[in-house]
Structure 1
Amino acid sequence: MPIRSPRGRAAAYRAVWQWPLRSPARLAVSVLVLGTLVFGLVHLGGQVGGGASGGGPADGQQGERWDAGGSGVSATPTPTMLPPVAGLTPEALPLDQAPAPALEVARVWASAWVNHPDGITSQQWLAGLRPYTTDEFLGVLANVDPVNIPASRVTGPATPTRVAPKSVEVAVPTDTLRLTILVVDTDAGWKVSRYDRA
């Protein structure tokens, strides 16, 4: 017999959604059945979607594919494909191959960095660093107040810690901390492009 009144329908719907809440066992069974249904639908959808797309070109169509040996393409080229690019690995050199001019620039730069007698202005301090510093890094150093530099003298030689064909990382000890200075080869010679306090 069909339900003819809105009250009867509401009661029927209420009975359906309240059924799982009448006991913990019913609730557990309902959650399990619902989870199984959702998992099944997702799994079935993944298989149907994967089968439709296939993850590759359709039958009769060939896209460009580069082989692992880099010998070329195996079919009609398309403009969207690019050849594989070899991984970029920086060329490291032995520490004893650090260029002497780079080490000298790091030493002189560190000496100018710690040179901040009382009354020196930022412009005077920067003028001492300018010949040994890249233009880009000079802009960063312009924000440094020499009064805040804790070191007052260099206490040891400049020693390389990393060496590459166009850059050298150099450690320079001072009386309060150790500077790690990056010196790069520019058109105007070796220049400092960064430093860190260690």
Structure 2
Amino acid sequence: MPIRSPRGRAAAYRAVWQWPLRSPARLAFSVVVLGALVFGLVYVGGQVGGGSSSGGLLAGGSDGQRWDPGGSGVSATPTPTMLPPVPALTPQALPPDRAPRQALEVARVWASAWVNHPEGITPEQWLAGLRPYTTDEFLGVLGGVDPANIPASRVTGPATPTRAAPKSVEVEVPTDTLRLRILVVDTDAGWKVSRYDRA
């Protein structure tokens, strides 16, 4: 018998959408059916879309040729080219005796400025002596050093290279209390000290 009143239609719709909520089994069944419908629609849509995109292939055209509607007919797909191997980006090591003389001189002068901290010198004055031979980044690190805590007071020997590369040299400089291990790097402004340690 047809439903003739709006109230009857609303009750029928409410009964339909409330049916899955009346028990957990009905809810699980509804979720499975809904998932199957969605999966079926996606699968059918993929089959239809995939079939239309393959229509441009020529019959028996397994050699990568495609129909070119705006050109002279058949155009071949370009063959990918093989790029040459790229060598590993490792720094080239040099024998220590081939270290640039400018780098050794910068290390020696920097060490002389590092040990130059007479009584009463301010950190700003001490940094001013290091500034011409130090990278800007490392100068910021040295800004936190109190020169009164530096134990050495003079350089006692020549700057000796221990490791060398075209753009960087590690140098040892002896002082009256310790040996400094200084890293000098080639920058746009010349050779500069970028790090030091106590050897």
| TM-score bracket relative to the smaller structure | 0.5 to 0.7
1:195 aligned onto 2:178 = no
Amino acid at match of 2:174: P
Give the Å deviation of 1:90.
Answer: 1.6
Encode CA deviations 1:99-154: one digit per residue, 9 max, x unaligned: 11110000000000000010000000000000000111100000000011010000
Amino acid at match of 1:90: P
Amino acid at match of 1:153: R
- Paired residue for 2:112? 111
Map 1:1-198; keep pairs closer than 5 Å: 85-198=86-199
The secondary structure found in structure 2 opposite 1:147 is helix
Amino acid at match of 1:87: A
Distance 1:157 1:123 in 2: 27
Give the Å deviation of 1:76.
Answer: 7.8
Distance 1:147 1:166 in 2: 33
The secondary structure found in structure 1 opposite 2:112 is helix
The secondary structure found in structure 2 opposite 1:150 is coil
Distance 2:179 2:154 in 1: 11
Amino acid at match of 1:149: I
Distance 2:149 2:79 in 1: 65
Structure with bigger gyration radius: 2
The secondary structure found in structure 2 opposite 1:162 is strand
Distance 1:83 1:194 in 2: 37
Give the TM-score, by structure 2 length: 0.57
Over aligned residue pairs, what C-alpha RMSD do you find? 2.3
Give the Å deviation of 1:94.
Answer: 1.1
Distance 1:177 1:83 in 2: 50
Amino acid at match of 1:99: P
Count residues in correspondence: 124
The secondary structure found in structure 2 opposite 1:144 is coil
Identity of aligned residues (%): 86
Distance 2:86 2:182 in 1: 32
**Residue ranges of structure 1 left out of the alignment (5+ in a row):** 1-74
Encode CA deviations 1:75-107: one digit per residue, 9 max, x unaligned: 987xxxx99654332200111211111100000
- Paired residue for 2:21? none
Give the Å deviation of 1:171.
Answer: 0.3
Give the TM-score, by structure 1 length: 0.57
Encode CA deviations 1:49-89: one digit per residue, 9 max, x unaligned: xxxxxxxxxxxxxxxxxxxxxxxxxx987xxxx99654332
